[in-house]
Structure 1
Amino acid sequence: MKTAVTNLKTIVTGDWRQPFANGDTIVMDGGKITAVGTADAKALETCDVVIDAAGAVAIPGLIDSHVHITFGDYTPRQKTVGFLESYTHGGVTTSITASEVHVPGRPKDPEGVKALAVAALKSFQGWRPGGMRVHAGSIILEPGLTEADFDDLKSKGVWLAKAGFGAFPTPYDYKPMIAWAKARGMVTTVHTGGSSIPGSSGIWSEHILALDPDVSFHVNGGPIAMPDEGFPRLVNESKVALQVCTAGNLRTTLWLSKLVREADQFDRFLIATDTPTGSGIMPLGMMYTITHLASLAGLPVEWAIAAATGNNARVYGLNSGFMAPGKDADVVVIDACSGGSKDDALSALANGDVAAVSAVITDGVPRFVGRSRNTPEGIRRVRVARSNVIQDFSAAAH
């Protein structure tokens, strides 16, 4: 499908160093972005769908890098079906598993955790709930795994490894397995903060510094934060990516955003939700953390968006997260909410308001146009101006 979004007021790139693109049009074809900025009339005539943004704002689709995937679009923690599809109505176009730790009765032996990771990976490879791309299948590091097991996992396509829920005497015992996973190009992640489930232990800065993973998961607490003295240490003594989550400690989220800017380490700052958990299902979780950072921490809103898009993409090696030719065609159109005090999406987010999600496009396919069922409607009428596709792109109203 060839799709275009025209009449945009602002295009946010997902790159905090160059956060805005010139122009008012985005063209997508074959699941990739082909043009950002301008397009002539002839190029638009060949599109299957043309969306008139009516002066709204386009951002890359949000990447939630901490979602508790199980099997299917179901969360056993909240006993709810359809949460992933609902997250697309909050502008989330990609979810990355935090390991399938919430699968009821999950296995804990080496063969079992390997099978769980492979099954989860494969179950989402051909299925996109609500159009969302789901990266599932993270091996949960448990005693008994061998270096050969990581070769086996790599050969089957598993590229994520999670430490923090295994039956090890101390967190330091994860170190050899994290090294094995990193040596095979896997992205390694470690639970950070207080214990979140029975049987797990608190993991603090001294553990992260010793383990040297790629990502410190919910460094602001999942949901309990580590001692304050650990935050400057992780920023200044490591190169680990520092992921803050909506379901964590807000005070340390805001503080960490200040620390990484002062240290010129903003590339390492990632936004995620750490949901669904006991904190619930949060379709607007990514949006809330963006607006918390913009309105309370003084972070430029376009930087906060980059932490939820391009920064995640860089750390996880994804082809999405940026508004640029050749990148995956995952685009979200946002606006100020009707009845609010601001007249554009970026000003609204900086003011502490969520933005209206007026259209979501994933893989170049419009998933809905006009109004999200999870946000108020926007002040502008974003609409399908022309379509050769027999499909109603409007979403069910709430």
Structure 2
Amino acid sequence: MLDLFPDPAHSDQRKLVIENIGLLLSGRLEEPILDADTIVAVDGVITGIGRASDCDTDDADIIVDACGTTVCPGLIDGHTHPTFGEYSPRTDNHSWIFNCLHGGTTTMISAGEVHIAGRPSDRIGVKALAIAAQRSFSAMRPAGVKMIAGAPLLEEGLLEEDFQEMAEAGIELIGEVGIGSVADVETASRMVAWARANGMRSLTHTGGPSIPGSRLMAAEEIIEIDPDVIGHINGGHTAFAHSEIRCLCEGCSRAIEIVHNGNSFAALYALRLATEMGQLERIVLGTDGPSGAGVPALGMLRMIAMLASFAELPAEQVFCFATGNTARVHQLPQGVIAPDRPADLLIMDRAQGTAGRTLLESVELGDLPGIGMVLIDGVPLLRPSRNTPPATVLPTARRVLA
């Protein structure tokens, strides 16, 4: 591990240069590969991308030599269920966020703090829990990962003024619609509209029940509720029939979320529909963990490899599902490599022993890449990953002393 800074949220301001990049993935479907070999970031924000001769690389505090490997945006897990800190009681998981960081995840988005013991369902308790979760993760990033938390579930008795109050307190999300006590479509639709009017984003529980209290909703009901994200369209864990998945994909224009802890066959079907419709920009990825299936530390990378290989899509496009697509849907600045964006980055290479001749080819064959370094806000947090297969080539880094 490169011990440069303990916490990117509280590190000193300084200049980072990443040089000798062999392949630069942008996170944007419109241009997934950039013609550049250098990134410059100041105070954790990207200021320059291009060829070394065209970038201002002078006076760098940290120089990272990518050694001809691949750089891409840090992965965004769009569907997690945190509690507080790094413990989850669902399957007794410790340090789960730290281990996901080693899988390339630099941002996580809560789909509801559903596993908190004694989770309140009254108006005051729902608001208090959401605000407490949001404040906790804003004040302290476990392992340095950016956790966007505070996602209240829809409970009977919530009023329009409650959504305004939560939004004013910094709440951006609504947890999975279909897990809270609100069971009728009319009430859920009204509350989702209240949330949207206050700038809050929502997603539904899609597929069969997963935990006590969750319910099965038909595709037509989800379309009527009109969430921003069709949460785990491939089930969490049990998927809809393919006819229902088609109804959802064709019946609305909202984001289509595919998760690791779901039905892989249904995931590929939903992706095929989006491909046929020419709407890959709607596909976003998440793990849906911690859950009864545990915490897939490499879940985001496993999904990228699975979708790229079985769906026979270019790997550079599939990486966008886990980065830029999710960033756009959730209105996040990270997730793409561009000027004025956070320098949340992965440096990776093809795994040792893979049949793929390049990183992209190895992923398209279903292999996971080896992560050589993870940076958040321009701060190198780990080198190399302890969870991915070992990379063929590792980056190097050095501090430049004044």
Task: Give me the TM-score of the superposition, normalised by structure 1.
Answer: 0.95
Distance 1:389 1:135, change over 3 A: farther
Measured after TM superposition, the shift of residue 45 of structure 1 is 3.6
Equivalent pair of 1:270/1:312 in contact (CA under 8 Å): yes
Distance 1:110 1:165 in 2: 16
Q: Does 1:305 align with 2:316?
A: no
Q: Relative to structure 1, is the Cα distance of residues 248 and 42 closer, same or farther in structure 2, using a 3 angstrom cutoff?
A: closer
Report the structure, 1 or 2, having the larger strand content.
1
Find the aligned partners of 1:87 and 1:169 in 2 and give their Cα distance. Answer: 33
Greater shift after overlay, 232-241 or 287-296? Answer: 232-241
1:395 aligned partner: none
How many positions carry a matched residue from both structures?
388
Q: CA RMSD in A?
A: 1.5
Q: Counterpart of 2:109 in structure 1: which amino acid?
A: I
Q: How does 1:237-248 map to 2 (within 5 A)?
A: 237-248=251-262
Question: 1:81: Cα distance to partner?
Answer: 1.9
**Separation (CA, whole Å) in 2 of partners of 1:65 and 1:76:** 20
Cα distance in structure 2, aligned partners of 1:255 and 1:367: 37
User: Match for residue 394 of structure 1?
Assistant: none
Question: Structure 2 unaligned runs (5+)?
Answer: 1-13
Q: 4+ runs of 1 displaced by more than 4 Å?
A: none
**One-letter code of the match for 1:188?**
S
Q: Secondary structure at the match of 1:120?
A: helix
2:329 is matched with which residue? 315
1:190 equivalent among 189, 204, 215 = 204
SS at match of 2:52: coil
CA distance in 2, matches of 1:344, 1:7: 16
Residue of structure 2 in register with 1:154 after alignment: 167
Contact 2:93-2:294 at 8 Å conserved across structures: no
The answer to whether the 8 Å contact 2:24/2:71 transfers is yes
Matched ranges for 1:1-398 at <5 A: 1-40=14-53, 43-162=56-175, 163-369=177-383, 371-384=384-397, 386-388=398-400
CA distance in 1, matches of 2:205, 2:316: 28
The percent identity for this pair of structures is 39
Q: Distance in 2 between matches of 1:240 and 1:62?
A: 21
Q: Deviations over 1:324-364 (max 9, x none)?
A: 01111101011111122223321111110000011101011
1:121-179: CA deviation from partner (whole Å, max 9, x where unpaired): 00011222222111010111100000011111011000101211122343443111001
Shift in Å, 1:38: 2.2
Deviations 1:22-61 (A, max 9, x none): 1111111111111112234983341111111111101100
Give yes or no for contact 1:27–1:39 (8 Å, CA) kept in 2.
no
How far the C-alpha of 1:71 sits from its partner, in A, is 0.4
Contact residue 3 and residue 50 of structure 1 kept, 8 A: yes
Contact 2:63 2:400 in 1 (8 A): no
Distance in 1 (alpha carbons) for counterparts of 2:345 and 2:262 = 27
Tell me the distance in 1 between the aligned counterparts of 2:232 and 2:212.
18
Work out the CA distance in 2 between the residues paired with 1:388 and 1:66.
39
Q: Which amino acid aligns with 2:226?
A: D
For residues 268 and 362 of structure 2, the distance between their equivalents in structure 1, rounded to whole angstroms, comes to 19
Structure 1 SS opposite 2:270: helix
Aligned partner of 1:291: which letter?
Answer: A
Amino acid at match of 2:63: V
TM-score relative to the length of structure 2 = 0.94
- Tell me the secondary structure at the aligned position of residue 190 of structure 1: coil
Q: Deviations over 1:94-141 (max 9, x none)?
A: 000011011111111111111110000000112222221110101111
Q: Which blocks of at least 5 consecutive residues in structure 1 are unaligned?
A: 391-398
